Structure 1
Amino acid sequence: MDKRVLPLAIGGLAIGTTEFTIMGLLPDMAGSLAISIPEAGHLISAYALGVVTGAPLLIGYTVKFPPKKVLMGLMVMFTVFNGLSAIAPNYGSMMLIRFLSGLPHGAFFGVGTVVATRLAAKGKAATYIALMFTGLTVANLAMVPLVTYIGHLFHWRWYFAIVGFIGLITLLFLYLWLPFMEGKGENVKFRAQLSFLKEKQSWYILLITAIGFGGLFTWFSYITPLMTEVSGVEKGNMAYVMVLAGAGMVAGNLLGGYLSDKFGAPKTSALLQFLMMIALAAVFFFSEYQVTAMVLTFICGGLSMSVSAPINIMMMRAAPDSEMMAAAFMQAAFNIANALGAFLGGIPLEYGLSYNYPSLVGVGMTFIGLLICLGFIRKFTGAAIVSLVKNQKTIS
């Protein structure tokens, strides 16, 4: 890995650990805070809503500054609020602190995505974005299972203390290895950074992300009760299940970057949407078979991260003059997907249905996302090809 991208990957490791460990510790937190598991799922939504709120606001007011300083400032916020999560006394305070913890998440990846593309050689932008998100996937492969195990063995509050420590390490590596880059300067206007929202293709991409990829969060938000109560996995073995999901994420992330650079981002995104729909349907029908459930855990884990590079490339190409803001909105959309998945996936559970039913909700969400993605390809990719052909005829 290019050493210059490593600080971004370590930041992704910290963010991935705080975002995804909570899924494995949901029953522990619910018991300790005297709430139900679906109520504990609202903590996932609170963090995601923090991302949605913080991403555009923090980018809008910091884009004028050098990216290195912005990233370090965001990581200071992240470290402080996650440290406070470790000592939150009750459910209400935890909801507030989880919201605040999410504020720097989207902005960090928004700035980091643009920095990664600037560091990349020609034709390798998607690959470098995937390298940045490697930290997120390694978090799911190694840190999430480890911290889940520690949380089960000792107390879930250790999870947030560990995240705060990783945040401190991230700050050190940002200072040492991230190169200096110029910001946009004092003349940049907040409103101008939002101009990409006037373009229809931007809204197509945001909807693909928020709705389509929200389907996988219906599965992942409730993976612990799904595997323990439906698939028959012992609670103490959930760390190994999370390792399996994390291994899928590592493989899927790198594969998504490769396929996007090779075949184009829109086609890759559509293919991944289709595969997600099939995989979630399989989770619904076959999770009672433990071996099959394990295989599906790897597959769904891979699909959950494979989209990061292609969908971000699609958005950055749709917003060439406000890439950081567009990338931040993508993080907001991913976390709307997170919030929608956790919320909508919890509805069948409120009615007493089994823990495989959230994935059925996910099938519907991914189907809608696939339709939007195909509409994007027909409306915008086709138009771009026609325009290219006309230009070639004019030149000849």
Structure 2
Amino acid sequence: MRIAIVAETYLPLVNGVTHSLQRVLEHLVRRGDEVLVIAPAAVGANDVDQRDGVSVVRLPSVSVAGYSDVRLAVGGVSRVRRLLAGFAPDIVHLASPFELGRRAIRAAEQLGIPTVAVYQTDVPGYLGKYGVPFLEAWAWQRVAAIHQLATLTLAPSLSAARQLDAHGIPRVELWGRGVDTTRFHPGKRSAAFRAKAAPNDEVLIGYVGRLAVEKQVEDLAALDNIEGTRVVIVGDGPEREALEAVLPNAYFTGFLGGEQLATALASIDLFVHPGELETFCQTIQEAMASGVPVVATGRGGPVDLVDPSRTGWLYTPGDLGQLRRHVVDLVGDDAKRAAFAEAAFQSVQGRTWPVVCELLLHHFECAIAEHALLARR
């Protein structure tokens, strides 16, 4: 297949969108598909380059206020249309479309190319967290306008699918995310990591993710003084300094990737994610693959991933007392925590990236067939 991927964010920025894209691209290259990535320009990246067998074209961009590493592509529809026309893809894959995606879907429509739009980031919800809730309605209008034009929209969770349905977006199918069960594995547990993070043999309560307002990491302050435990924060971001102040007893590792991240996840005893705006939450799957039970907010993507009383617990959003009680329940009972850990590990063994990527290709084929059918009518 010839596949054009239009990415709202791309490497070197590391986030959920870019992580998913890299796994998809690896799969497409192994299959021998021809792929073009169109993405915002990034500091230190060439405008046109070849990365791991994939052609990447970067468009002029500006930084987002407060996030110097997050770039927003600027320009009109015509540039994107020329790129798509020159590549002549069978399908256009829109990764978390918002601004660049808006232009790309209009360009694809003008060229008569089928599109699959992947809803992955709750941009309207983010605006509320950043103190501009009056822009949420506008943002949903933008999101709906994009997805209503798409041949097919893919939602990562039932919660996200319901959200899209509530805003009148048709033709929605589920497409989750894979997890690398070789990289993330209980066997990566490290005595050396634990010696640094738990010098007094504490039970380690871990979080992995960007340290940003929308992740609500400050809620973990409710856990910072549980006897015999220590909070571990893996990640970096604009909120780190503030979080170090509200979590004075926590162990901050900074950003970790590759094997270092796998080691950290396997070396904690309990994973906690307080974010309420997760459309999926990939780090929950990675923790489970590492043999770690999970406590997460009962909203969004985590609801699909955590099986209460078996692989972890879900707590009522905003109820930090309940969050603390669920954590205390597991850190205080080694046998229960071990049983939850084993169930969590088993629950993700069939969700490998090759399986998930093949499902994505099936969605591509369905979109191409549907587009051809509509064109004949």
TM bracket (short chain): under 0.3
Considering Cα pairs closer than 8 Å and 6+ residues apart, tell me whether 1 or 2 has the greater RCO.
1
Q: TM-score w.r.t. structure 1 length? A: 0.24
More strand by share: 2
More helix by share: 1
